[in-house]
Amino acid sequence: MKRGTISLAVIALVAGAWYVLQWAETPMRTSSANTAVLRGDAMVAVAVPASLDDQEQIGKRAFDTVCAACHGANAQGKQGVAPPLVHRIYEPNHHGDMAFVLAAKNGVRAHHWKFGNMPPVKGVTQGDVLNIVAYVRALQRENGIQ
């Protein structure tokens, strides 16, 4: 392999890594000098849909029971705890519905955020997770993430 090709590959790899890190670490909420951001504070402001269909309502109840302790009310995330799911990283083209199912079933190694690994979620079925995903997708659509 030519030296120039190797150099170009290294530059592309570094640029790609920088882009991903910038995307994942873009603050969704800023704090002023007068406002401290505390562990557990919501990371994003989330607009809630005026109404939810039956599956989304079931998903909201399941989310509130199983997911909100870490991911915050309405999937807003919690500073220092877990990321917001209403975020462009979790748009359907990047994290499909089955990614959520697998995350709940198997856990997830930290890869977009610096919260550490997500453990498997005990006691939820694939159907439960798909209802939760329906709710999260409704929140995402309401907030311009499609």
Task: Encode pLDDT of 12-27 as tens digits.
Answer: 444 444 333 333 443 3
**What does the pLDDT average to over 127-143?**
98
Task: Encode pLDDT of 61-83 as tens digits.
Answer: 999 999 999 999 999 999 999 99
Q: Give pTM, 2 decimals.
A: 0.74
d(CA 141, CA 115) in angstroms, rounded, equals 25
Sole residue written with tokens 């800023």: 30
Q: How many residues does the chain have?
A: 146
Domains, the chain = 3-142 (1.10.760.10)
C-alpha dist (Å) from residue 136 to 61, 81, 139: 12, 18, 5
pLDDT category, 39, cuts 50, 70, 90?
Answer: confident
